[in-house]
A and B are shown apart, each in its own frame.
Chain A
């Protein structure tokens, strides 16, 4: 792929605007709360778009297009049965406790609701995971630009990291959130035309479908048996594993996204943040997945396009998106498409850095190292942590480039840690009898159950390291879903049993933390600003999409 001067002009212009936003926001930052939680003052349309953009990293964009080519439109389950129902749940049911408790982070909620050890466990694992995931996505981006544009790995990694560092250092969370909104629009306007061009080229939706096996253009029809679809999953594993445990675990408890809603200006705005975000979120498959599906149809058309190959001869689906851009975008739009890719990477990275910042400063530093310093000290710590967080991410990116297997292993471990979390929050928020000992032992047991499931089963030659193989899954996706199901159930049961055996907190300490002891303020707003009606509209649209693409 060769770029013209106009492509570089667009990329540079984007960098200038990104830095300008950081500069503009800088004067609003006076306290650590401004820097780390945006002082709870951001309008709802901004938090909503940031809510999805923070998750819309480069790996998401590239990976969803790749999965579209590999698994077809079934990939949309990650949105239509996964993300969107979970976003509705966090907005309608969980946000009153997150926002109402006045906690500054998700781990801090755990401290208020349970105890210090549960918070420390969650804060440490979360901090480690954010650094590694931003490093891994930085590595993926550097590799892609090296492959496609022959840019130096070091140059693209350092340049993008430096820009993210400058704007998050200047304006903290507000700057990251404002930039995420620009990034969101750039991603949509940069990739939507591609989806339209590619699908038109294959003869519109029906033309595209006629060139593909039927399983590639249906979401539910072929899920009765795992052997019928390329994902290798059946309907129960899909709904319980992906739809319930994994998606709710991520969207309802991951501070990276929840932080955006907690920055909103009022309780009603915080609750509506994920609900409003659900509308663009449910349309994202058309922008990020459909081009991948269409690419597969295109490769059957004798136009000289084929899915790129790896050196070992297997398909390299991760390059689907960039090869499509090279075929359909001339210089000009090509620069914008690459800028959008860069933007998706930056939004993901800034999301990680700002979440890491807050958890480190408030939950670990203020919670354990220096408890009673003046606020200006924590503001200073927050700024320094930004630099440290970016530096650690860059270090991880280099680690990934040298030890690829370590990264596979780490991602596996993160899956073990994340899967049981939603059980802890569900019990914590809706059962006042749940205790700190229960939550802590439940989390550990859930993680152990995840590891044991992986160790005792095999899928695509992965797992089975505990010696015995109790079950063989048709795909590693199915294995992941079932690991999540076992981890969640174990965490749920252990938390339940241990809670019943230990001393509960007094009810007076649980106000604004648990259902039944929290008064949800009645705000006098028109119906379209109330969470329940908005959620019902989302549900109706969601049902429609599932039926249309059944």
Chain B
């Protein structure tokens, strides 16, 4: 069902972008984690979402 892949992909692209941009612009830090958690996790989710969208697109072609 390619519809569901689009929905899930869309969700993670959006959330990944929001979290990633938060990592770029806002100065939020976790107490015990020095890395830029938001940027790293945001990009990972963005990538996951994009893969889902690509799978949906490949299926619908």
Contact = CB atoms under 8 A, between A and B. Distances in A.
Given A182-B7, A332-B38, A327 B30 contact: yes
A524 B29 CA distance: 55
Contact of A189 (B10, B18, B23, B45): B45
Given A46-B1, A327-B31, A327-B32, A333 B37 contact: yes
Contacts of A185: 8, 12, 48
Contacts of A304: 31
A389 B11 CA distance: 29
Interface in B3-60: 3-4, 7-8, 10-12, 14-15, 18-19, 22-23, 26, 28-33, 35, 37-38, 40-42, 44-45, 48
B37 A13 contact: no
A499 B44 CA distance: 58
Given A4-B28, A330-B30, A332-B19, A17 B11 contact: yes
* Majority secondary structure, A binding face: helix
B31 A10 contact: no
B15 to A, nearest CB: 6
A329 B30 contact: yes
A24 B29 CA distance: 38
A333 B41 contact: yes
A201 B12 contact: no
A201 B26 contact: no
B19 A333 contact: yes
A528 to B, nearest CB: 18
Contacts of B12: 185, 189
Contact of A333 (B1, B4, B38, B48): B38
B22 to A, nearest CB: 4
A330 B7 contact: no
Nearest to B8: A182
Interface in A286-301: 298
A178 interface: yes
A42 B1 CA distance: 8
B11 A332 contact: no
A193 B41 contact: yes
Interface in A29-78: 42-43, 46
A417 to B, nearest CB: 35
B32 to A, nearest CB: 4
A332 B8 contact: no
Given A17-B11, A185-B12, A328 B18 contact: no
A456 B23 CA distance: 58
Contacts of B29: 330
Contacts of A330: 28-30, 33, 37-38
A435 B28 CA distance: 65
Most chain B CB atoms below 10 A, which of A43, A46, A193, A303: A193
B31 A332 contact: no
Contacts of A201: 32-33
Contacts of B45: 189, 336
Contacts of A181: 4, 8
Contact of A43 (B1, B10, B33, B48): B1
Nearest to B27: A330
A328 B12 CA distance: 21
A9 interface: yes
Contacts of B7: 17, 20-21, 24, 178, 182
Contacts of B48: 185, 189
A309 interface: no
8 tightest A-B contacts by CB?
A: A330-B28, A332-B22, A332-B38, A327-B32, A331-B28, A330-B30, A328-B33, A332-B19
21 contacts: A13-B18, A21-B4, A21-B7, A43-B1, A46-B4, A185-B12, A189-B41, A197-B33, A201-B33, A304-B31, A326-B31, A327-B30, A327-B32, A328-B30, A328-B31, A329-B33, A329-B37, A331-B22, A331-B28, A332-B26, A332-B37
Given A42-B1, A328-B37, A330-B33, 14 more contacts: A4-B28, A6-B18, A10-B15, A182-B8, A182-B11, A185-B48, A201-B32, A305-B32, A328-B31, A331-B28, A332-B23, A332-B26, A332-B28, A336-B19
